[in-house]
């Protein structure tokens, strides 16, 4: 009886001590830092894409000035619209690069530590499997969209400065250029699009890739893309329908894809097609988040009871 009476206070004090250790060591913070240390492509690839585009943009601006040299003063509104197109293109380039990085990162996130047997070391640390898997999910869902936004806005600002410097004295009103290019509007639309579509809407895709990464004995890329292909083929042969393929297309293109059908619509028009209220009222969003939660929970369980390959 005496032993039982002391078990409660001891267990409570042990749990309290563990909570204090977790609060001091900040396992989630250091788990995210670990992902940055081990996966430099998270920020190197978007930066490289932005640098390559800026180099090409500078050359195009120099060529444009040569073509405009000696001509009459140009219509500022018209050329402001023309010069706004590269700003949308650089946003699409960086977003696409970040999405590809997120796919390959998620496929290797849990598979890599099993392959090189470093999972034995990480499991010896006071970091739960829940923290480890969630830190890997946060990277493509939150970190990559935020990095893409910052890099895109910085690149667009540099483009605006470069175009102002190169086109100065060519007959174009540079002061009007800053007003004709909707810089603030593009930044707002881009921020909402990255956090909603690239973060929340793509969550089941990243959850599925993490699940495959936690389970695949080898070649996780094949195991990630082979089951959807098999499901599509079986549905096509059995029922002569393509509902699963259309579902995947809807998930990949996002709920804003219908704006592409509008004549004269641009990339920013597509991204601004759905406001936050409409986006969060889309049933596909919540169904996708529920499926993502199932995938992530399964990946956590597989990591908890799994081991090195």
Q: What is the pLDDT of residue 88?
A: 85
Task: Sketch the domain layout of the chain as residue ranges.
Answer: 26-305
Q: How far apart are CA 122 and CA 132, in angstroms?
A: 9
Residues 6+ apart with CB under 8 A from 56: none
The pTM of this model reads 0.83
Q: What is the pLDDT of residue 3?
A: 46
Q: What is the pLDDT of residue 179?
A: 63
Q: What is the pLDDT of residue 267?
A: 64
Q: What is the pLDDT of residue 183?
A: 73
Cβ atoms 189, 272 nearer than 8 A: yes
Mean pLDDT, the chain cut into blocks of 10 residues (309 residues total)? 48 50 70 90 94 90 66 48 75 94 95 90 87 94 95 91 73 60 78 88 96 93 94 93 91 70 59 76 91 96 87
SS3 annotation, 188-227: HHHHHHHHHHHHHHCHHHHHHHHHHHHHCCCCHHHHHHHH
Q: What is the pLDDT of residue 227?
A: 93
Cβ atoms 118, 16 nearer than 8 A: no
Please give the DSSP secondary-structure letter assigned to residue 258.
Answer: G
Please give the DSSP secondary-structure letter assigned to residue 57.
Answer: H
């Amino acid at each position: 009886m005496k032993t039982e009476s002391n078990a409660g206070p001891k267990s409570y004090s042990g749990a309290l001590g563990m909570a204090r250790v977790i609060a001091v060591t900040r396992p989630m913070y250091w788990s995210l830092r670990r992902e940055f240390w081990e996966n430099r492509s998270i920020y190197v690839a978007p930066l490289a894409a932005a640098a390559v585009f800026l180099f090409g943009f500078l050359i195009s601006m120099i060529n444009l000035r040569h073509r405009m040299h000696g001509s009459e003063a140009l219509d500022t509104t018209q050329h402001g619209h023309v010069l706004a197109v590269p700003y949308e293109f650089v946003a699409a380039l960086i977003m696409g690069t970040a999405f590809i990085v997120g796919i390959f990162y998620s496929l290797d996130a849990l598979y890599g530590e099993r392959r090189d047997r470093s999972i034995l070391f990480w499991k010896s640390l006071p970091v739960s499997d829940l923290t480890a898997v969630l830190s890997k999910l946060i990277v493509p869902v939150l970190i990559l969209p935020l990095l893409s936004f910052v890099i895109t806005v910085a690149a667009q600002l540099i483009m605006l400065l470069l175009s102002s410097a190169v086109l100065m004295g060519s007959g174009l009103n540079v002061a009007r250029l800053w007003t004709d290019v909707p810089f603030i509007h593009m930044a707002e639309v881009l921020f909402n699009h990255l956090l909603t579509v690239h973060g929340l809407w793509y969550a089941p895709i990243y959850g599925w890739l993490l699940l495959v990464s936690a389970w695949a004995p080898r070649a996780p890329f094949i195991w990630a893309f082979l089951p959807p292909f098999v499901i599509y083929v079986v549905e096509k042969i059995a029922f002569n329908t393509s509902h699963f393929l259309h579902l995947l297309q809807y998930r990949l293109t996002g709920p804003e894809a219908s704006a592409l059908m509008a004549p004269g619509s641009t990339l920013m028009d597509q991204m601004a097609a759905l406001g936050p209220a409409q986006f969060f009222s889309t049933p596909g969003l919540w169904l996708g988040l529920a499926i993502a939660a199932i995938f992530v929970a399964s990946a956590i369980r597989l990591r908890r009871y799994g081991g090195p390959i």
